[in-house]
């Protein structure tokens, strides 16, 4: 039975991976949070890898606060770049296949058609640059790697746009949501299944892959859909704005092409609105 290590187990993707793992009962999963495995500490990694034998590692450990990264550059690079390097080196030494989660923010957003894996990268924020450096380290240090770039991740867990909008609706907020960016909201539960589908396939087609839900939206579109599907549209005053001031620059366009991924792996292909509705319906039934 293959043993799979999942880092960042307390993050939203880590929690979604834990849920998804229940449908993959022919694998042995080991979930570790930062307290159990600090990816920035080589000794911590070596100590764990010395006591366990893994066939796969899903690295979901990340510094994800795009805004704070601008003033906490060292922290962002420590986790997203050095941490990725440490994991990559450990996996290479032990012939472990690494599945690493990256981001659409490695692109500058100047393109106007979906980004493919071979498009030139040019990060315009500290967060994006730190994730890009992590990608580069993995490609240099680890032979057996799958890098999964995703976008606008949300779920029922943690701090994300979806949960923030629900909280604002409960508070009856007046909201101005930007239309400046076009991308694809992605349900982290779908990303979790996609990552596990790579393992289930047994594929050795290593490299970079894009995965998100289908379609495109602005943040305003996403917010409106959340309120419509939850029946809370009347609870908020929702307005568009074509400018929303942020510390971090964000790509104006970051829709990803998923053709390469779907040509290799068998995972349901869901439109972002369809997946959002599924998540909301599942939450209602809990």
Q: Which residues participate in catalysis according to the annotation?
A: 127
Cα dihedral 266, 272, 276, 277 sign: negative
Task: Compute the residue count for the chain.
Answer: 286
Distance from C-alpha of 97 to C-alpha of 207, rounded to nearest angstrom: 11
Task: Kindly report the three-state secondary structure assignment for every residue of the chain.
Answer: CCEEEEECCCCHHHHHHHHHHCCCCCCEEEECCCCCCCCCCHHHHHHHHHHCCCCEEEECCCCCCHHHHCCCHHHHHHHHHHHHHHHHHHHHHHCCEEEEEEEHHHCCCCCCCCECCCCCCCCCCHHHHHHHHHHHHHHHHCCCEEEEEECCEECCCCCCHHHHHHHHHHCCCEEEEECCCEECCEEHHHHHHHHHHHHHHCCCCCEEEECCCECCECHHHHHHHHHHHHCCHHHCEEEEECCCCCCCCCCCECCECCHHHHHHCCCCCCEHHHHHHHHHHHHHHC
Residue 13 in contact with residue 60, Cβ under 8 Å?
Answer: yes
Residue 102 contacts residue 81 (beta carbons within 8 Å): no
């Amino acid at each position: 039975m293959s043993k799979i290590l999942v880092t960042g187990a307390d993050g939203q993707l880590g929690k979604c991976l834990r849920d998804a793992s229940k449908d993959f009962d022919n694998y042995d999963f080991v979930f570790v949070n930062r307290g159990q495995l600090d990816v920035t500490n080589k000794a911590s990694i070596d100590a764990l890898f010395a006591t366990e034998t893994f066939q796969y590692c899903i690295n979901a450990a990340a510094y994800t606060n795009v805004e704070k990264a601008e003033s906490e550059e060292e922290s962002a690079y420590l986790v997203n770049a050095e941490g990725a390097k440490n994991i990559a080196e450990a996996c290479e030494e032990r012939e472990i296949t690494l599945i690493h989660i990256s981001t659409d923010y490695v692109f500058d957003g100047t393109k106007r058609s979906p980004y493919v894996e071979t498009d030139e990268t040019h990060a315009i924020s500290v967060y994006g640059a730190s994730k890009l450096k992590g990608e580069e380290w993995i490609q240099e240090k680890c032979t057996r790697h799958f890098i999964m770039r995703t976008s606008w991740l949300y779920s029922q867990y943690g701090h994300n746009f979806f949960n923030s909008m629900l909280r604002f609706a409960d508070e009856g907020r007046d909201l101005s949501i930007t239309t400046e960016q076009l991308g694809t909201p992605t349900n982290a539960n779908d990303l979790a299944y996609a990552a596990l589908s790579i393992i289930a396939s047994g594929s050795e087609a290593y490299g970079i892959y894009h995965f998100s839900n289908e379609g495109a939206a602005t943040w305003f579109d996403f917010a409106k859909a959340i309120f419509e599907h939850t029946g809370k549209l009347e609870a908020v005053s929702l307005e568009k704005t074509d400018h929303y001031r942020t510390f971090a620059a964000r790509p104006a366009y970051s829709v990803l092409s998923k053709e390469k991924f779907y040509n290799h792996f068998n995972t349901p292909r869901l439109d972002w609105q369809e997946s959002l509705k599924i998540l909301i319906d599942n939450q209602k039934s809990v």
